[in-house]
Each structure stands twice: as structure tokens, then as C-alpha cells.
Amino acid sequence: MIERTFVMVKPDGVQRSFIGEIVGRLEKRGLKPVALKMYRIPKDMAERFYAEHKGKQFYDGLINYITSGPVVCMVWEGEGAVGAVRSLIGKTNPAEALAGTIRGDLALHPGKNVIHGSDSISSAQREINLLFNDYELMDYRRIDSEWLTE
């Protein structure tokens, strides 16, 4: 099933110049970018984005971190996009992430782990709606699409 998912290169990923590498890995996986922007997330939006973590010990640090610098927000589309992105990203703790995953190869610390990806279709829809307007989402057909799906 064709899905859309949300991906964010976090402030440490931007500062460490991983934007191109991450975009390249997603493209090589056969996913199609349908929206992309560099953004500095305001505190109120960060609080809505991470609302499920409110009250947890790491919440304040998470909000401070995600608002500390620019991020790159993206929407990717493809067959099973949510699961495909999650497998490319790897486990939250880079020490547990497999080599070949983005976090396994690039991240150094669980709290600064380079990238965020939606964990479900419903989370993806919520995150996309929070950070993108309808007019920012592109609908187009790639010329290689017949080679990527059955």
C-alpha cells in the first residue's frame, strides 16, 4: 500500500551536515519526496509535536533540543513508507542500531540521534498535518515508479 510518512533531520543531523546523506538513503530505498523544508520549530509547535512525552523525565530536554537549531522536515511516499523509513532509521539508541541504518552509522547519543521518523500511519498523518499545509505537499508521478511497485 502506498503511504506517506514524516521524516525530520534533527538539529544535530543538520549541524553535522547529514541532510544530503539522509535524503540520498531515502531516495535509494525507492521512496519519493513529496515535501521538504528547512524550519526552526517554535516551542509551542514542539510541545504539540511531542505531546505524548509530556511529563516524562526527558521532555524538557527534548523540547530544548528540537528547538535549538534548524531541522529539515520532509514527507516521503512509497510502498509501506512508514515501515521502510523506520527500518532505514534504526533503533532510537545508536548503540543498539544496526550498522547500515542511519542511526547505526551516523548517530552518537540516544538524545541526539540525527533523525525522526513517524512510528505509525496515524502518527505520520498527525505530524504531516502539524508541519505542512496541503499546498506544500506535491502530487506527481516519478518516471521510475513502474520499476518500484507491482
**pLDDT tens digits for range 24-36:** 999 999 999 999 9
Extents of the domains making up the chain: 2-138
Instruction: Tell me which residue of 52, 114, 119 sits closest to 83, measured CA to CA.
Output: 119
User: Each residue of 46-100: pLDDT tens digit?
Assistant: 999 999 999 999 999 999 999 999 999 999 999 999 999 999 999 999 999 999 9
Q: Is domain 2-138 classified as CATH 3.30.70.141?
A: yes
Host H or E run for residue 102: helix 102-106
Q: Is the pLDDT of residue 150 over 80?
A: no
Strand order in the sheet with 32-39: 32-39, 71-79, 2-9, 115-117
| Contact between residue 124 and residue 6 where contact means Cβ atoms under 8 Å apart | yes
User: Each residue of 87-126: pLDDT tens digit?
Assistant: 999 999 999 999 999 999 999 999 899 999 999 999 999 9
| Contact between residue 89 and residue 102 where contact means Cβ atoms under 8 Å apart | yes
Q: For residue 116, indicate whether it is catalytic.
A: yes
Q: Check residues 37 and 146 and name the one with the higher pLDDT.
A: 37
DSSP output for 35-69: EEEEE---HHHHHHHTGGGTTSTTHHHHHHHHTSS
The predicted pLDDT at position 9 comes to 98
Provide the pLDDT confidence category of residue 143 given band limits of 50, 70 and 90. confident
Task: List, in order, residues 6 or more apart from 103 with CB less than 8 Å away.
Answer: 89, 90, 91, 92, 94, 97, 113, 114, 115
Q: Which of 4, 10, 103, 116 is catalytic?
A: 116
